[in-house]
A = this chain, B = another copy of it.
Amino acid sequence: MAHYDVIIIGSGPGGYIAAERAGDAGLKVLLIEKEHLGGVCNNWGCIPTKSLLHAAKLYTHALHSAQFGVHVGDARFALEEAMAWKREVVETLRKGIAYLMNKSNVEVIFGEAACIDRSTVEVDGQRHSCDHLIIATGSSAARPPIPGLDGEYVMTNREILSLEEIPKRLVIIGGGVIGMEFASLYSQIGSEVHVVEMLDEVLPMMDRECAKLMRREFKQVKFHLGCRVGEVAGNTVKFTDAKGKEASLEADVVLVSVGRTPNTKGLEALGLDISRAGITTNERMQTNLPNVYAVGDVTGTSLLAHSASRMGEVAVDAILGKKSIMRYHAIPWAVYSLPEAAGCGLTEEEAREQGHHVKSASVQMRSNGRFLAEHGKKAGGMCKVVVDGDTEVLLGVHLVGGTASEMIYGAAALMESELRVREIKEIIFPHPSVSEIIKDALWALS
């Protein structure tokens, strides 16, 4: 039985970053992966969706650039080719992770892990022991108790990423990030897309003002808000609408994207403290068991690839005796649809609930020179900033439009650095850039 300083179960962005950091720090590390390096993020999540969304955006731009003097006589979206490119990207990045693991002296084995006790893990009948165990097993698409979700038309994020034919009609149950990204993708390439959402607005983590604008900018998508799905019968999604009326939609594909469930199979023997959300940890990613850590989606907290990676770093720091902690107040998120959206920190509603004396300001992106030049007069977009009126500390930045996903890290930096509004106003933003709108929004605070 080989012995390791650290065994890590799961090679998603939580697991492989933890492995890299631990390996680079000189620890003897074993990384166990049941399927493909990179986990959901690389194989059925972030990376493949971004590849396809980018292709869809290129197609949309090709069709709609006449206002800028670019005329395209004939444009065609070949989904099977976009899917092939997506596979190539995924495989390239898998190899990249394998290269990194090798470079950091991390041993990798493939197979399903079963924890025997908190220092022994079995894979394919072989046992491995360790001083420290990091659980990074991730999450799977939740299957809510709706009759018919096992039907042949129903897919999750996983299966829909292998479609080779554009569905004529796509019904998406759930208007969160995953639902909105697929709605954007398929509506751009020709599907008739319906989103059925139980709540009264899409994108629940988002500031409501921004979420509303996002929904309105999805001009090709039909939204059914406040609707509760009762059953999927064959190709028909049956739901009760906001007024209590029964309604239904026929679909070629039904996508279920109503949340994620932590992957805790194989961990039963440990006696971990697990809630419905996931494995409970402290701010150093320690579980209730000594020397057992949990990172990423399986913790049920901040289900984002980059949160998982940071948690992995924090867990390794704990193992190394360093004192870093996981901070949750400045974690950016992004929706890679057209338009993009991104945010970091508190929404206005959250800030009020937390008792801040809130000041906020919103600026429309069409007032921004670069946005106007590149998106035309009709495109919508906005920036909203949320500030503590007493301390002048920036609490939240919310963006719709432009390359929001590439701008938002700067908001995380501003919030982590704890600069006050008047100090941020002294930072020089490049002109012309859409990013200037963040500063403009701060100047718009009354």
A13 to B433, CA, bound (A): 14
A contact residues, range: 35 or more
Q: Which 7 A-B residue pairings sit nearest by Cβ, starting from the closest? A: A410-B410, A69-B82, A73-B74, A417-B417, A69-B81, A55-B68, A306-B431
On whether A373 and B332 interact (CB within 8 A), knowing A81-B69, A413-B417, the answer reads no
Q: Give the complex CA separation of A74 and B63 in angstroms.
A: 11
Stretch at the interface among A119-127, A141-149, A216-224, A364-372: A364-372
A58-B333 Cα distance, complex, nearest whole Å? 27
Is B408's CB under 8 angstroms from A427's CB?
no
Is A405 on the interface with B (CB-CB < 8 A)?
yes
Are A431 and B58 closer than 8 Å at their CB atoms?
no
* A1 contacts B by Cβ under 8 Å: no
Query: Given contacts A78-B69, A92-B372, A410-B410, are A332 and B58 in contact (CB under 8 A)?
Result: no
A18 located at the interface, meaning its Cβ lies under 8 Å from any Cβ of chain B in the complex: no
Copies of this chain present: 2
A427-B431 in contact (CB<8A): no
Distance in Å from the Cβ of A139 to the closest Cβ of chain B?
A: 16
Q: Is A41 an interface residue (CB 8 A)?
A: yes
Q: Which of A339-369 contact B (CB under 8 A)?
A: 342, 367, 369
Q: Is the CB of B69 within 8 A of A77?
A: yes
| CB nearest neighbor in B for A60 | B70
A178 within 8 A of B: no
The 17 listed contacts between A and B (C-beta, < 8 Å) are A50-B374, A58-B62, A61-B62, A89-B372, A89-B373, A96-B367, A306-B430, A306-B431, A310-B426, A327-B426, A332-B429, A403-B406, A405-B430, A406-B435, A412-B427, A412-B430, A416-B426
Q: Are B70 and A73 in contact (CB under 8 A)?
A: no
Return the contact of A50 from the options B42, B310, B432 (Cβ within 8 A). B432
Asked if A58 meets B61 with Cβ closer than 8 Å, knowing A42-B369, A77-B70, the reply is yes
Contact B406 A409 (CB under 8 A): no
Contacts of A89 in B (CB 8 A): 369, 372-373
A4 at the interface (CB under 8 A from B): no
Choice from B69, B405, B409 contacting A55 with Cβ under 8 Å: B69
Alpha-carbon gap, A433 to B324, bound state (A) = 24
Do A55 and B62 form a contact, CB below 8 Å, given A403-B403, A406-B406?
Answer: no
Shortest distance from the beta carbon of A236 to any chain B beta carbon, whole Å = 31
Which residue in B92, B370, B406, B431 is a CB contact (below 8 Å) of A433?
B406
Within 301-349 of A, Cβ neighbours of B (below 8 Å) are at 304-307, 309-310, 324, 327, 330-334, 342
Question: Are B71 and A76 touching (Cβ within 8 A)?
Answer: yes
Q: Which of B41, B82, B305 is the one whose CB lies under 8 Å from A68?
A: B82
Complex alpha-carbon distance, A46 and B372, angstroms: 13
Least Cβ–Cβ distance between A207 and chain B, in angstroms = 17
Which of B73, B75, B80, B369 is within 8 Å of A93, CB to CB?
B369
Give 1 or 0 for each of A370-388: 1 = CB within 8 Å of chain B CB: 1011100100000000000
Contact A405 B428 (CB under 8 A): no
Indicate whether A233 reaches chain B with its CB closer than 8 angstroms. no
CB-based nearest B residue for A422: B324
A334 pairs with B430, CB closer than 8 A: yes
The reply on A205 being an interface residue by CB < 8 A is no
Which residue in B72, B373, B412 is a CB contact (below 8 Å) of A54?
A: B373
* Chain B neighbourhood of A333, CB < 8 A: 430
